[in-house]
Amino acid sequence: MTLHIRSDALKLLSWLACTLILGAALAPILYHIGKSMAGLPALDGYISEILRKSDFSRYFNRAMLLAALICIIPLMRSLKLKRGILTLQKNPSWKSHFLAGFILAGGLLLMLGWAYLVLGLFKSEHQFDLRMIGKFMATALVVSLLEEWLFRGLLLDAVLRSARKWVALLFVTFFFALVHFLKPPGSIMVSDADVNLTTGFWMVGQIFMHFGNPVFIAAEFATLFALGWVLGWARLRTSSLWLGIGLHSGWVFSYELYKYHTFMPKRYTPELFLPYIGATLKSGLIPLTTVCLTGVVTAIWLHFRHRRH
């Protein structure tokens, strides 16, 4: 069993390494292609504006996602997942699970954001725009469906074949947090003139420098780990992805909505409140507590719902 776990772990780490290398190589290429396409008359409008305004960090994130999807094909073959996800069951209550997860995760996170506004830690900006609500909802659904299928579906199923469920949950949760932790620092700005074929690899180096900052790890990595643990627990508890998809999409939707409509005043800096409060709703020990509370409330809801049925 130990050899199987080590073998699966090695394959997952190899997938991560290949994703980083391929993503770093693709990032400057996608950046220059995107900037060139921004001037095409056929794309004039919203798409053109997004391509033009997006900085290198955003292109880097999209390149990493594309690389992860490309590299997932040989990973699935090496993990012998041709027969699909074996440990999931059909969920007749998928609608209520999704809706409850979305409301609990999104609602509690927005309540935290509202508290930040009351305390004056954040200020509101931008008027309410229904089109942006639709955009954030679409983003939340796509991200949650893709990541739950990948992490709590394929990868967790692969590790469950050779490990006890809590060991498998711990491993996949750590891997989930690690993958999401590997994002460019928000303070890094790269000008058009500085983007070349090696800029993506330089960005990877900047990301790994975060691991030398214990405050940043406590504020960011711990929250990502708790989020992944709650999602993994929901998948094991229900033998289905739908509750996790609801929770995940609720978090993403509320996070994007709050980030668009608020900002931290210039007199405050994220470092002033770390490790308790960061520059966003996902940074700091207070958001970490909110994620843990969401898991507890979800467990209580599931308990009483199953008692009624």
The residue from 50, 80, 110 where one domain ends is: 80
Task: Encode burial over 14-50: b for 16+ CB neighbours within 10 A, e otherwise.
Answer: ebbebbbebbbebbbebbeebbeebeeeeeeeeebee
Q: Inform me whether the pLDDT recorded for 82 exceeds 60.
A: no
Q: Average pLDDT of the chain?
A: 83
Give yes or no: residues 258 and 295 share one domain: yes
Most confident of 44-58, 98-112, 121-135: 98-112
The pLDDT value given to residue 131: 77
The pLDDT value given to residue 84: 47
Give the mean pLDDT of 169-198: 80
The count of other CB atoms within 10 Å of the CB of residue 189 is: 10
What total number of domains does the chain contain?
2
Answer whether 157's CB lies under 8 Å from 87's CB. Answer: yes
Q: Inform me whether the pLDDT recorded for 165 exceeds 90.
A: no
SS3 288: helix
Give yes or no: residues 94 and 164 share one domain: yes
pLDDT, one tens digit per residue, over 149-164 is: 888 988 888 778 777 8
Give yes or no: residues 71 and 102 share one domain: no
Give yes or no: residues 256 and 296 share one domain: yes
Residue numbers of the domain that contains 224: 89-184+193-309
Give the mean pLDDT of 173-191: 76
pLDDT, one tens digit per residue, over 20-66 is: 999 999 999 998 888 888 766 666 665 677 777 778 888 888 888 78
Most confident of 43-57, 70-84, 267-281, 288-302: 288-302
Give yes or no: residues 163 and 280 share one domain: yes
Give yes or no: residues 57 and 123 share one domain: no
Give yes or no: residues 94 and 200 share one domain: yes
The pLDDT value given to residue 185: 65
Q: Provide, rounded to the nearest whole percent, the portion of the chain with pLDDT above 90.
A: 32
Q: Dig out the tokens for 59 from the structure.
A: 């292109």
Give the mean pLDDT of 207-217: 72
Give yes or no: residues 127 and 76 share one domain: no
Give yes or no: residues 97 and 176 share one domain: yes
